[in-house]
Structure 1
């Protein structure tokens, strides 16, 4: 540009000199000198920009796990001075708020899309497995409600492979049976030659056009976790996430596409690291870790946000990358606004998760009756909630409601079967202090981890008379258990996979080894937090800061919790009951694998959710509710985090 400017000035100056030296009209003089020719210098054209500036709105969902209908949370109204009273005459201090679920989400997606100019709708994986909607309908219910949103792209998650490649193909057939035809993306998934998804089911990326601009969307699935913790076909391969992402970023940018979105099922912290190791990525819309991002609004409501929305970082070249995720179970959707300049560089991003809630609030009038808040009190509650930008009172989409009615008739048959009661809220966690629970403060699981996972291990041991010890992976237990009634449906929601209980004969040393295996898979690169081991009749200390082989110590046994605790005998043989998935060596439980493969196990043919049902029914027959175990029965007796912080002696350890 400077070169072109100086050349223009020279030409103008030369013209001025000629006018000064001669007459204003050269025809007045015969001998007037002719104007010298200015040699033509080729002018280089200015480089054209890569396109036009554009603002995009990305509306996204992840990890809904067959949670199709709305759920509820309690909202503290003690500061609102409500006039409504309970049967005892006390002011209502807490109401129940209905939130999330596809009938409201469909409306919210449509509303937000109508109020933005350039919208892309994305789902970052783990659509299936988790409730009776999947157990009964094998993905059809999930596909049909997803098609009401009509996503522009869907990335495969690890749980899409829970029923093998054939099960995934079945779900994708449902997803593509309507007019939507959502592209399914998985750049790092290479189906085996005999895989049911080998032809025409998945693509590495899709390109969408908004405002005349092309946006490339690349799908990435978590490789190690899917291969080891789900059930893909043996011939299906999962490539390195970072290398594959860079390969397709380069391919798209080579085609002139300069706005790149990674749609990943890789985990929040892994996404941040991924962004920093790549060049050319602009946005990562993720899933897998069930991470709630956002401000104090969600903490005030009793949830556990773990980072900012959006989380802004930089790629390997220092360019801005915006990273987001939208929690879990259809509780909310994410709304990310991204500003691109003409060259496809992100100049800013903003947004928030948006939680749809119903315009109706119930309260406990007495122990046996709930009532709906009305009048000014209902308005006061609605106004208090809607004062937060992240909360949106939302009507249900009528078409989606009607669609679900047919599915619900079958689901309700099981939901109505009461098998027991729950005395108190029982927390779900994987690692101690992870913050996964939706009903318990993180302090409750700070040192010993999950309540319910220990109970599940005890249930399996209890209903298997030959077992000395029960072992259960944390990721196989899916939800908190709230105080109140407990139904068959609750059991299948808690334990949604098609696993059976098996027993293996193991030496004490092999038991220690399998605990070390599980921790290594959870803590080391490429693993899953769902590998974290819980047990019954077995307890130990964990030091996650130590190297493999030195993380488990002070191992004690109390077979069937029928006697006293004693140090494990490394040479003695114990009967261990677990689910057949990890018994086969999956999810990092490597020591189990050779024993299982050699046929040295006994299959009880008890479906693992049914095993838990049997346990609850045994408690009920004894007049006992389901409740937390005594602390001395928890498998994790003490915990030192990967940062070396001892949760037993310090109350402010930062993570796990």
Structure 2
């Protein structure tokens, strides 16, 4: 069983003919509520990381549907499927593991207004916060939460924001008829992956928060307990292993594909063992509403799961849509539809986003080259460009490229900035990305990176932390640790986003990324990108970096640094995160 995660491409993973995963334990379920053996049966249906994909979208891309292509997902399909399950199952529970915000023009144009309407139409039983719910600040989030018609749970979030404290946010909720507790938690890295978390906000340790809530629930004689999390698949497994009393973890954040599909990252459910050596079931449902998770479980009288049946459902173009919600979504599109369909240029190839979180990707190459060219053409004295991979959100198809495609791929409205670093600092930055811990920010990094053609580096994940970066070159020369380099990056990164370094304020913001990319595509059409070896997965174990490197200073500049493709594909992305994961 693989216990790590990666963002993977829908086009490479899911096909219309992919089998549905159906895993049944030794004792199959016989009926809802009490079965012949006295076990209590319920079914949990769940979504996560829909990221404002209210409408159906093009399979394998995440961008708007186009004629002749498979269009999948969308809240009209989710609502229809949920309605069918309500009819066929006896009192199922519907859970949402967060990150409804950010990802399409529905959020860019409306904020949380239409999203709250759509998920109210589905009718969840509980919702937990995702990191991107904070992207427009806590005022916007408080308004969104105030419109919801079901409980919102988050046990590890504290704030002094007046609007958020007025929202009825609880650490857990209890579904009385099932004597079932649902505890919510969010990733502690939210401040580094969302620009709007703001001061006076704290995200505490999820493990401690969950255990505290479990103990409180047990004191109320609630022994059936679900953790509804937005911390990522690997962290869900860690949560299971380091707590007592949690039966099922329904997760989000890492966009992990589980089940019987091509290139799956684990079983649905994944089974871990807690501190008492008891089984804990972990499930998550990929991203953008493509998968509807569904797991039926039976609790024995003590509250332990003794049997289960798992069935993640892919919402394909053959899945029926709720007519009313489909029509409403079409109406919501109208104010921005003309702009989103404006053609800015063309691409001769698919500009792929699916591998950006663990290796070089073609869309990463194009966007970083666009950032570099933008500054050079304006007279900037810059050496290279790089971007957090979590900021790259969807692939762009071959053929005409629209403004909507650009905004869907880069929805955050991040601005271009110039930052000057010494060569030694650059080595530290990229070592931190390779090792997933930065000695500059003193924090786990939460995204991979993509680089312009002026940079080439290699890395090896089999090496120990802080010794993974193998080689690092700028303009064909090994980096000089004593030289200054000016790098084009994003304001999000500059202020500490994804924890590549400590927050900086010595920069000026320029044009936004969507403007820069649209202009680049217009000038270079048809774009013809390929994998060029900018980022190399190495097997080397040691390499001296930098013309003056040798002693190091806790930054690993005199040792190895790199990440192999196979191991890197097991990274717990946040990435997805975005800066998003």
TM-score over 0.5 for the pair: yes
* Secondary structure at the counterpart of residue 261 of structure 1: strand
Q: Which residue among 507, 528, 533 is the counterpart of 1:627?
A: 528
Deviation string for 1:80-111 (max 9, x for gaps)? xxxxxxxxxxxxxxx84332111111000110
Cα distance in 2, alignment partners of residues 449 and 159 from structure 1: 25
1:219 aligned partner: 184
Change (3 A) 1:204 1:616: same
**1:407-426 equivalence runs, <5 A:** 407-426=332-351
Contact 1:286 1:323 survives alignment (8 Å): yes
Are positions 1:348 and 2:316 aligned together?
A: no
Distance 2:486 2:82 in 1: 51
Counterpart of 2:518 (choices 609, 613, 621) is 613
**TM-score (ref. length: structure 1):** 0.72
Q: Which residue in 2 is equivalent to 1:169?
A: 142
CA separation of 1:532/1:522 partners in 2, compared to 1, >3 Å: closer, same or farther? farther
Among candidates 107, 125, 139, match of residue 80 of structure 2: 107
Deviations 1:379-420, CA, capped at 9 Å, x for gaps: xxxxxxxxxxxxxx4321122112212211123112220011
Kindly state the Cα deviation for residue 516 of structure 1 after the two structures are TM-superposed.
2.5
> Are the counterparts in 1 of residues 361 and 450 from structure 2 also a CA contact under 8 Å?
no
- Structure 1 residues 195-344: aligned runs within 5 Å: 195-210=162-177, 213-223=178-188, 225-231=189-195, 232-295=197-260, 298-299=261-262, 304-344=263-303
Of residues 456, 471, 474 in structure 1, which corresponds to 2:367? 456
Q: Flag the 1:647–1:249 CA change in 2: closer, same or farther, 3 A.
A: closer
Q: Distance in 2 between matches of 1:52 and 1:234?
A: 51
Distance in 1 of aligned mates of 2:341 and 2:73: 22
Deviations 1:586-610 (A, max 9, x none): 211215x3xx33x3x2322x01111
Where 2:70 maps in the other structure, the secondary structure is strand
Question: 1 CA distance for matches of 2:416 and 2:569?
Answer: 36
Answer with 1 or 2: which has the greater Rg.
1
Q: Does 1:584 pair with 2:495?
A: yes
Cα distance, 1:585–1:519 mapped onto 2, change above 3 Å? farther
- 1:19 corresponds to: none
Distance 1:654 1:235, change over 3 A: closer
- Describe the shift of the 1:651–1:581 C-alpha distance in structure 2 as closer, same or farther (beyond 3 A): closer
| In structure 2, C-alpha distance between the alignment counterparts of 1:424 and 1:647, rounded to whole Å | 27
Q: 2:155 aligns with which of 170, 174, 187?
A: 187
What TM-score does the superposition give when structure 2 sets the normalisation length? Answer: 0.81
Secondary structure of 2:169's aligned partner: coil
Deviation by residue 1:415-456 (Cα, 9 ceiling, x = unmatched): 220011121223224667x5xxxxxxxxxxxxx432212321
Equivalent residues of 1:265, 1:288 under 8 A apart: yes
Query: Which of the numbers 554, 563, 571 marks the counterpart of 2:471?
Result: 554
Q: State the 1:202 CA deviation.
A: 1.7
- Contact preservation (8 Å) 2:360, 2:450: no
Match of 1:61 in 2: 47
CA change 1:324–1:63 in 2 (3 A) is same
| Structure 1 residues 169 and 639: CA distance shift in structure 2, 3 A | farther
Match of residue 44 from structure 1: none
Q: How far did residue 640 of structure 1 move?
A: 5.0
Asked if the contact 2:458/2:563 (under 8 Å) is kept, the reply is no
Structure with greater contact order relative to length (CA < 8 Å, sep ≥ 6): 2
Query: What residue in structure 2 maps to residue 428 of structure 1?
Result: 353
**Stretch deviating more after TM superposition (271-280 or 487-496):** 271-280
2:111 equivalent to 1:138: yes
**1:34-72 CA deviation, whole Å, 9 max, x = no partner?**
xxxxxxxxxxxxxxxxx9732111110000001111124
Q: Deviations over 1:361-387 (max 9, x none)?
A: xxxxxxxxxxxxxxxxxxxxxxxxxxx
CA contact (8 A) 1:61 1:326 kept: yes
Query: 2:569 and 2:338 mapped to 1: Cα distance?
Result: 44
DSSP 3-state at the match of 2:141: helix
Tell me how large the CA RMSD over aligned residues is.
Answer: 2.7
Change (3 A) 1:338 1:185: same
* Aligned counterpart, 2:536: 637
